[in-house]
Every structure is written in structure tokens, then in C-alpha cells.
Amino acid sequence: MRNLINILDFSISELDELIAVASDIMDNPEKYADKCRGKIMGALFFEPSTRTRLSFTSAMMSLGGQVLGFDQAASSSVAKGETVADTVRMVSAYSDIIVMRHPKEGAPIVASRVASVPLINAGDGGHYHPTQTLTDLLTIHKKKGRFDNLTIGICGDLKYGRTVHSLISAMSRYENVKFVLISPKELQIPDYVKEEYLINSEYIEVTDLEKAIPELDVLYMTRIQAERFESAQEYERLKDSYILNHAKLDFAKSDLSIMHPLPRVNEIDVDVDEDSRAHYFDQAKYGRYIRMALILMLLKTHGVDDKRGFGMEMEGKTCTNPHCISNSERGIKSLFTDNGKCIYCDQ
Ligand code: CP
């Protein structure tokens, strides 16, 4: 089964193909209106969502297909204690493709191992959000016209920001991409992202947004996420660390692309919205088209094997990440790669 768990599940040429199909859909939507007639998408959202859930729903409907599912765990039998694995087994029987968002890191791997249809990770805790990255890549393609030779500033919650981790892993494969990682010390990028994806990339970690702005081609703002913090006090202390406003853009490049996966809270002032460099609402719109292209690709490649390794048990060892699915899902074992990383959450 072909799944999308991590953006690196797709080669650069497959990403190029998705972007080309999404662009064609935007130009010729009528060509695609019946491509998924008779197909059903299962949308399992164990965490809140506006853009991801509704753009996937819109995508499947725009392809002529139908959608079933739930938008909160409380309205499913998870509330009675059913596991992720059993839930996905059931929905596999009722649908042709599954989209799943879950607060636990690695939950999509558990799901993909029991699903009998393609499975798409729509965000797992603070880990990955590969379909947001597809949206981000389409935006960079449309607004900058290239993926190479870019200086990309990423600002905000880099520790728990799943969109950030997936974007870095995708962009680190292109030539001469420099990352400027702007965050409070407490919310710096996790080691596993540095070790896996930044090893061959140029990057700097800084705390000052204004000083960083002039050299950037792309500024990717992110929300400080209340829901990921253990301590409400720590969130209150850090929540307004960065607020981008019109004045701060005085020394920015004239062709800067300002992006944000949304939702925003305070980190982009509404006075930026009218700036021609503010691309975050276009970015959200593109989500529908790239997700249409993704659904078509995964349904077409149904039957191709997922090449993900299965991992191995290590005597007496369990994952130390409290947000990892291996510490909450009944009936699964802790499994590790050869170099000792948890196969579910990468930590
Ligand atoms: N960008 C994003 O994932 O938004 P939602 O949480 O609204 O889906």
C-alpha cells in the first residue's frame, strides 16, 4: 500500500508531478470533476482542524467522490476505549482512502500497518504534517518559481511545530537552501530534525526576528501552540514572542513571500494582510488543489508497497517521548531503527 506519512515518502520527481497536476486542476477543474466518482474518503480527525479537514473534504467532493468520518474522537467509539488500530481497520472496510489527524506522534504508522487502503497523515502531534508541506511547496512554486537558492526564515514554535519539521525535511533536499531558524531558546528545533534533515544544510538558530528579516526570500511564521505545552504558565510567557507587523517589513526584500500554515493568533498582525507579500491566504487556498492531486496519485498507485522499515524490539527499552503513540496504544510494541530511534516518533 502506498501511504503518505512523511513528506520524504515522495521523491522530488513525484512532488514535481503533484505540483504539475495541482496546477492543471486549478486551470482545468472540469477535467477532474468525475475522477473519483464512486470513491469514498474516510476522514478521521482526532484533533481540531479547519483547513486540512475541509480542504480534503472539498478536494474529494471536487473529484466527484464522497466523504465519511468524524471531526472529534468524542463522537467515535474511541470514546469507549477503541484503539487507533481497530478504528482504522473498520474505516478501511468502509472507504477507499483514509486521511487521519491524531494528537499522538507516530499514530499514522500504527494506522498504516493495519489499513487496507492508502493512508494519509494529516498531522500527528508535534511530529509531521506532510500535506501542509505539499501546500507550502505549491505556494513556493507559485510565488517564487523555484525551490533552489532560497533563504527561508522559519519563526515561532520550532520545537512542536509539525509543519516546520515537514517543511525542513522537504526543502533540505534542494540545492543551496539556507534555513534561518528563529525561535525562543525553549522552542528550538528538536535534535532529531537536525540529525535527520539539517545534517547537509546550511542553517543558523537565532532569536531576533527583525534582524533576520532583510536576508529572507521566504518568511514562514508559525503559531506558538497552547495545546502542546505541559505548563500553561510557560505558554503565557512565550505566546507573544514574535509579532510580525507592517513596520517590521520595512527592510524586507520586495519579493519576500510571507507564509503561515494558519491558524494564526497574534503572530501576524492584520495590518500585514494587505501587503502584496502576504501569501498565507493563497497558501490555504492551494491546499484544496494539491490534496486533489494527492488523492488521485495515491488511488492510482494503490497496490504499490510502502517501503518503510518495520523496526526491531530492544530488550527493556521503551520510547521516552510521552507524546509517542507507542506509550498509549494498547497492543503495540516499542520498535526501533538500527541506530536506536523510535520508528513511530523518530525520537
Ligand atoms: N494548517 C493546518 O493544519 O490548519 P488546520 O489545523 O486548521 O487544519
Q: What is the rounded distance in angstroms from the CA atom of residue 186 to the CA atom of residue 53?
A: 30
Q: Do 192 and 113 fall within a single domain?
A: no
Residue type, 183: S
263 C-beta closer than 6 A to ligand 1: yes
132 C-beta closer than 6 A to ligand 1: yes
Q: What is the rounded distance in angstroms from the CA atom of residue 237 to the CA atom of residue 219?
A: 23
Q: Do 269 and 162 fall within a single domain?
A: yes
Q: Do 148 and 217 fall within a single domain?
A: yes
Mean pLDDT within 40-60 = 98
Q: Do 143 and 255 fall within a single domain?
A: yes
Q: Do 111 and 209 fall within a single domain?
A: no
Which of 65-97 are b and which e, b meaning 16 or more Cβ less than 10 Å from the residue's Cβ?
bebebbbebeebebeeeebbbebbeebbeebbb
- Give the count of domains, the chain: 2
Ligand 1, atom 6, residue with closest C-alpha: 49
Residue 334 lies inside a defined structural domain of this protein: no
Ligand 1, atom 4, residue with closest C-alpha: 51
Mean pLDDT within 231-258 = 94
Q: What is the rounded distance in angstroms from the CA atom of residue 188 to the CA atom of residue 9?
A: 25
Q: Do 156 and 268 fall within a single domain?
A: yes
Residue 312 lies inside a defined structural domain of this protein: no
Residue 1 confidence (pLDDT): 76
Ligand 1, atom 3, residue with closest C-alpha: 52
CB 7 within 8 A of CB 132: no
Residue 337 lies inside a defined structural domain of this protein: no
Mean of all residue pLDDT scores within the chain:
95
Domain limits for position 114: 7-128+287-300
pLDDT digits (tens, 9 = 90+) for 130-147: 999 999 999 999 999 999
Q: Do 248 and 222 fall within a single domain?
A: yes
pLDDT band at 229 (very low <50, low <70, confident <90, very high): confident
Q: Do 35 and 122 fall within a single domain?
A: yes
pLDDT digits (tens, 9 = 90+) for 311-325: 999 988 999 999 999
Check which CATH number belongs to the domain holding 48 and give it: 3.40.50.1370
Q: Which of 276, 300, 324 corresponds to the end of one domain?
A: 300
Least confident of 13-22, 40-49, 234-243, 281-290: 234-243
Residue 118 lies inside a defined structural domain of this protein: yes
Q: Do 296 and 268 fall within a single domain?
A: no
